[in-house]
Every structure is written in C-alpha cells, then in structure tokens.
Amino acid sequence: MSSEEMLDDGRARLPSGQFLTTRFPVLTYGSTPVVELDGWSFNVSGHGLAEPIEWTMEEFLTLGKHETTRDFHCVTTWSRYDNAWRGVPIEAVWAQINPHLTEEVGAVMLHCTCGYTTNLLIEDFLASDNLFATHHDGEPLTPDHGGPLRFVCHHLYAWKSAKWIDGIELLDMDARGFWERNGYHKRGDPWGEERYAYQE
Ligand SMILES: Nc1nc2c(c(=O)[nH]1)N[C@H]1C(S)=C(S)[C@@H](COP(=O)(O)O)O[C@H]1N2
Ligand SMILES: [Mo]
C-alpha cells in the first residue's frame, strides 16, 4: 500500500493531508444507539413528495443488492483503503422515490436514529456506488460502525456516511446538517480538502 498511488483520473489515491490506517476507527459524536427493529421504519419525506414513503427494514432490504470496495476518508485525517461494503444501492432506493416527485429536489438531509444529520447535494447523494450498507468486509455492520444500516458515500469525507440512518428528507436547496452547522464544510470533498466551513 503505497501513499503515492494514483486513481484512474490522475488524482492521488490518498488525498492531501490524510494518513493511511489499516485499523477501522470508530468516530461517533455521542454514544452508539441501540436500534430496535421492532417498530423501526425508514422514512422519506420533504420537498416535492406529496405522500411520505415508509419502509420496514425487511421491505427496505428487498429493494436491491450491491457490493463495492472503496476507500474511506475521515476529516480527522485517517483514511482506510479497500472497504468492502454490501447493502442496498442508491439507484434502487431512488427508483422508488423518483416516480412520486412533483418538484425537483436539490439536496437531501439524512436523518439517524440518534438525531445526527448530514446534508448532501442531490448529485452527491445519487453518485453511483453510494449505498445503504448492512455489511462491511464480509461481516454484518457492528453497532459501532452504524449497524444495522448506514449510508455510505465514497467520494466525500466520511462524516457524510450517516450511521444508523432511518430517514431521507428531500430539500429544494442545500442546508446544513450537524457537523456542517458546527464548523465543517457544507460539501466535504477530500481531494479539495474541503474540511471547514470557512473554506466555503
Ligand atoms: N449517526 C452518525 N453517523 C456518523 C457519525 C456520527 O457521529 N453519527 N460520525 C461520522 C464520522 S465523523 C465518520 S469519520 C464516520 C465514521 O464511521 P466509522 O465509525 O464506522 O469509522 O461516520 C460518520 N457517520
Ligand atoms: Mo469523521
């Protein structure tokens, strides 16, 4: 694992200011919640959607299947290469939402059981290979890493990869989630070192 590797498009595999770890650190604001699936639902609501959409975990997991192996970059400067994620692909979830939209969606706010939120522009949210992961490196996601369900967005800093996700709020325009209101960048591109709000 060299830190001088390049991606196909010529960017460095390891973004500037990052160091490589083979560990899988747990980065959580607050403590790990216990997600009780009894009574749990995944909710989609907000801008352009007349009727909210609701799925049980069982229903959500039947929407589709996807596996991808990608790098993970935390803004606190650690990066972990080659994480094998498995779960429900973004395309399958969006295929359920899109036909019900009456207006254009510009961004989303992701909601988690613990109250954590994070915002993404719609094009970042819909990037191919994004997924709602249930497994990491062949094992069910542990509660610390967001089990039973976490969103994973590979091309932005890992704070956008919301653990214990249970909802998508559709927005007409971008807004700020938890870290984005607390000093972090609205978008968070690791190759642009979009770490802090003052860089916007
Ligand atoms: N719900 C929730 N999701 C979260 C966080 C959090 O505190 N709460 N932390 C974020 C941050 S800052 C990072 S780096 C990654 C870390 O994921 P990991 O703990 O599985 O390594 O989760 C992100 N998702
Ligand atoms: Mo992070």
29-65 per-position pLDDT tens digit: 999 999 999 999 999 999 999 899 999 999 999 999 9
pLDDT at 4: 80
> How far is it, in rounded angstroms, from Cα 191 to Cα 105?
26
Average pLDDT score, the chain: 97
pLDDT at 25: 97
Q: Does residue 1 carry a pLDDT above 80?
A: no
38-66+85-199 homologous superfamily: Oxidoreductase, molybdopterin-binding domain (3.90.420.10)
> How far is it, in rounded angstroms, from Cα 27 to Cα 65?
26
| 3 confidence band (pLDDT: 50, 70, 90) | low
Residue owning the nearest CA to atom 2 of ligand 1? 163
Instruction: Quote the ligand 1 centre to 93 CA distance (angstroms).
Output: 21
Q: Does residue 88 carry a pLDDT above 60?
A: yes
Instruction: Quote the ligand 2 centre to 161 CA distance (angstroms).
Output: 9
Instruction: Quote the ligand 2 centre to 66 CA distance (angstroms).
Output: 24
Ligand 1 binding pocket mutation candidate from 77, 119, 154, 159 (most atoms within 8 A of CB): 159
Spell out the alpha helix ranges (H) of the chain: 57-61, 90-97, 122-125, 178-181
Instruction: Please confirm whether the linkage preceding 89 is cis (ω < 30° from 0).
Output: no
> How far is it, in rounded angstroms, from Cα 49 to Cα 132?
21
Please state, for a pLDDT cut of 90, what percent of the chain lies above it: 98
> How far is it, in rounded angstroms, from Cα 177 to Cα 36?
24
